[in-house]
Amino acid sequence: MEEIQPIEPETAPAATPTVKLKLRNVSMMFHGATQTVEALAPLDLEIMEGELVVFFGPSGCGKSTLLNLIAGFEQPSTGEITLDGEPVTKPGSDRLMMFQEHGLFPWLSVINNVTYGLKNRRRYRFRPWKQRAIAREWLKLMNLEEFEKTLIHELSGGMKQRVALARALAPDPHVLLVDEPFPALDALTKSKLYGDLQEILISRKKTIISVTHDPREAACLGDRILVFTPSPGRVQKEIRVELPRPRDINDPAIGEYAAQIMAELESQSDEKRQDTD
Ligand SMILES: Nc1ncnc2c1ncn2[C@@H]1O[C@H](COP(=O)(O)OP(=O)(O)O)[C@@H](O)[C@H]1O
Ligand SMILES: [Mg+2]
């Protein structure tokens, strides 16, 4: 019988960080019947392997648009996106988008939700025992091992979110894309999730892009935060968070970074106001 590869921390990171994703002159216009929206002004960006980058900003500033372009769901109006040097032209299993909890199948058990993403992978196809073994490892990492047979609709919001995370990570994507993943959860559940996510980060060295409009969430999760401003959507500022991990969302140092992020946004809207005076 074939050996199951256990989930193990990957080997030590390379001495020089490698560029995982490269965006050159990427922009996006949406052409409607009556008007054209410049969702994203031309943008250059490099994201390193193992980095967690947060796109932060108010709604309508192009965060989801940029995430969808990186996922390959849409093509940019100008410019090019490359992943490991290869152009991104369509969705691929190397980039996985984690949808909010409603992306789960409520009528399936926890474990069947997690194995769902593995069924069509060459390594796991027609090997249900192997799919289950991988799913169990991820459920264990998410502290959900006792709930594998539970149906999704029987779980709390925070547990559903952890199942969604396990499902997204089980196929072992190189890049994980998360769009506003933690909506409407209570403070305690959220702080637990941030802990879980960072644990995975440290142990698995995934490249992650996460979108949020919560400045504390941005400061807690991000190695680097890109502050977006709208009309047209663009990156106003980059902030590096130089705090050790795991970080606690309630740490005052996180609050200081959150204040800095908000100040960036406010200075931008002041400038706009002065322009229109
Ligand atoms: N498919 C679309 N068609 C037309 N306009 C769009 C489409 N998707 C997004 N937009 C517009 O592009 C801008 C940026 O949207 P989005 O990327 O969703 O912002 P965010 O995720 O930061 O809230 C908004 O003005 C939005 O209305
Ligand atoms: Mg959005």
> Tens digit of pLDDT for each residue in 195-217?
877 877 677 778 999 998 889 99
Domain with CATH 3.40.50.300 in the chain: 50-94+175-188+205-277
Q: Is the dihedral angle over the CA atoms 177, 193, 203, 261 positive or is it negative? A: positive
- With a 6 Å cutoff on the Cβ, whether 113 touches ligand 1 is no
Q: Is 32 left (phi over 0), alpha (psi -120 to 50) or beta?
A: beta
Kindly give the distance from the C-alpha atom of residue 29 to the centroid of ligand 2, in angstroms, as a whole number: 16
- Which of 65, 74, 235 is the best mutation target for the ligand 1 pocket, counting ligand atoms within 8 Å of the beta carbon and taking the most? 65
- Please state the rounded mean pLDDT for residues 215-241: 94
- With a 6 Å cutoff on the Cβ, whether 201 touches ligand 1 is no
Q: Which residue is closest in CA terms to ligand 1's atom 4?
A: 30
Q: What's the whole-number average pLDDT of the chain?
A: 87
% of the chain at pLDDT higher than 90: 52
Kindly give the distance from the C-alpha atom of residue 130 to the centroid of ligand 2, in angstroms, as a whole number: 35
CATH T-level fold of 50-94+175-188+205-277: Rossmann fold (3.40.50)
Torsion of CA 275, 44, 243, 175, to 10 degrees: 130
Per-residue confidence at 103, pLDDT binned at 50, 70, 90? confident
Displacement of CA 11 from its chain's centroid (Å): 22
CA angle 153, 155, 161 (to 5 degrees): 100
CB atoms within 10 A of CB 250: 11
